[in-house]
Amino acid sequence: MEKISVDFRSFAQVTKEFIKALGQKRTYSLFENAYCIFGILWGIPVPIVTIGIHLYSARLLLNLPNIMRIMLHEPFYFFFLLHPVFFGIVFGAMGTVRYNKQQKIEELDKQKSNFLSMVSHELRTPLTTVAGYVSFLLTEKPGVLNQTQKESLKIAAETADLLNHLIEELLDLSKIERGEFRVNLAHVDMAKVVHKAVTALRLYADSHEIGLECDLPHDLPLVWADKERILQVMTNLLENAVKFSRIGGKITIAASVDRQNSKVVFCVSDTGIGIPPDKRDRIFDKFYQADSSENRKYGGCGLGLAISKSIIELHRGKIWIESEEGIGSKFFFELLHATVHL
C-alpha cells in the first residue's frame, strides 16, 4: 500500500508566505486585489444561512427587528456576521501570495532575459572576428590555399554562419521577452520579399533536390509590413520546409487575397515529414521541437517559429498550420492589405 506522508516543509513554507501576506497592505485592498472581493462574496452566505436557519426553526419572520433580537440574545451570531470579513482577509492573503510569486517570476524572467542578451552580445563580437578572418583567408589574398584548406575553411565559415543565426535568434527572443521588439510598418510588395527569400534558399533546396515554386497571383496587392522582419518569417518557413522535407520533395509559396477582411494570406506548403496532431499546438512555443529525442536528426533550437509568431502578431496578423503526418505541412500567415488605415 502506498504510504501517505504529509510534506511538513511545504506546509511550513505556505504558512510563512501566508503570514507574510497578512502583513501586506495589498491583502486588504479591494481595488488592487480581486481575491479579497471574491472572499467577501464567498463569506456573505454564511451569516444569511445561519441566521435564516435560526429564524426558521424559531418560526420567526425574516425581518430586521427579528434579526436584531437574535443578535442581542445570542451574540455568538456576530461571529457569523464577521465571516465575509474573515473570508475576505484569507482570500486576500492568498491573492497577495500569488502576486508575490508572480513578481518573483517576472523578476527572474527579466534577469534571464538580460543574461541572454548580455551573453549573446558577448558571443557575437568574437564570432564576427572569426568569421571575418575566415572569409579573408578564403579570398586567398594572404596566400594561395590548397583544396583541403579551402574545404576546411568553408566548413568553418558555414559553422560560423549557423552560430551567428542562433545568436540572432537569442537576441530577438530576449527583445521579445523584454517587450522591446518593434516593427516598422510600411507598404510592401510581398512578391519582392518572396523572391528574395527564394533566391536565398535556392541553393539549400537544390542541394537536397527539393523543388521550390512560387504561385503568387499577378495582382498581389501591397500589404502593411516590416520588410526585413517579414523576410525573416518567410526565410524561416522556407528553411524549415527544406529541413523537414525528404529528397525529391516540393515546396510551394502561394498567396490569396481575402478582400472581405482586407487581408492577404500567404502559404508555405511542403511535402515533408508533417507534424503529429498532438504537437501542432506547441510548435509555436519557444524552444519546442516536435522531435525532441536525444538522437535528433534536425538542427536548430526551436526558436524560429516562436519569433515568427511574435513578428506576425506585431503586424496584427495570425500564423497557423495545417499538417498531415508523413504527407506534409502548410504554414499560413496573414497580413493587412495596404488600403487599411492603421
> Under a CB-based contact definition with an 8 Å cutoff, are residues 166 and 301 in contact?
yes
Give 74 or 291: the residue with its C-beta nearer to ligand ADP.
291
Helix (H) or strand (E) holding 66: helix 64-73
Q: Does 304 bind ligand ADP (CB under 6 A)?
A: yes
- Out of 255, 283, 311, 312, point to the residue binding ligand ADP (CB under 6 A): 283
- Out of 39, 92, 95, 272, point to the residue binding ligand ADP (CB under 6 A): 272
187 φ, ψ to 5°? -75, 125
Q: Does 266 bind ligand ADP (CB under 6 A)?
A: no
In 3D space, the residue among 290, 284, 336, 282 whose CA is nearest the CA of residue 306 turns out to be: 284
Helix (H) or strand (E) holding 258: strand 250-258
Q: Does 67 bind ligand ADP (CB under 6 A)?
A: no
Write down the least CB distance from residue 12 to ligand ADP, Å.
Answer: 42
Residues 77, 55: Cα–Cα separation, whole Å: 12
Residue span binding ligand ADP (CB under 6 A) among the ranges 72-80, 84-92, 299-307, 333-341: 299-307
Write down the least CB distance from residue 274 to ligand ADP, Å.
Answer: 6
Q: Does 270 bind ligand ADP (CB under 6 A)?
A: yes
Contacts of residue 229, defined as CB under 8 A and 6 or more positions apart, other chains included, come to 183, 311, 314, 315
Q: Does 300 bind ligand ADP (CB under 6 A)?
A: yes
> Under a CB-based contact definition with an 8 Å cutoff, are residues 96 and 26 in contact?
yes
Residues making up the chain, counted from first to last: 342
How many residues touch ligand ADP (CB under 6 A)? 21
- Out of 137, 230, 275, 336, point to the residue binding ligand ADP (CB under 6 A): 275
Q: What is the DSSP letter of 334?
A: E
Cell for 279?
504537437
Q: Does 241 bind ligand ADP (CB under 6 A)?
A: yes
- Out of 21, 176, 223, 273, point to the residue binding ligand ADP (CB under 6 A): 273
162 CB neighbour count, 10 Å cutoff: 12
Q: Does 221 bind ligand ADP (CB under 6 A)?
A: no
Contacts with ligand ADP, residue ranges (CB under 6 A) = 236, 240-241, 244, 270, 272-275, 283, 289-291, 300-306, 329
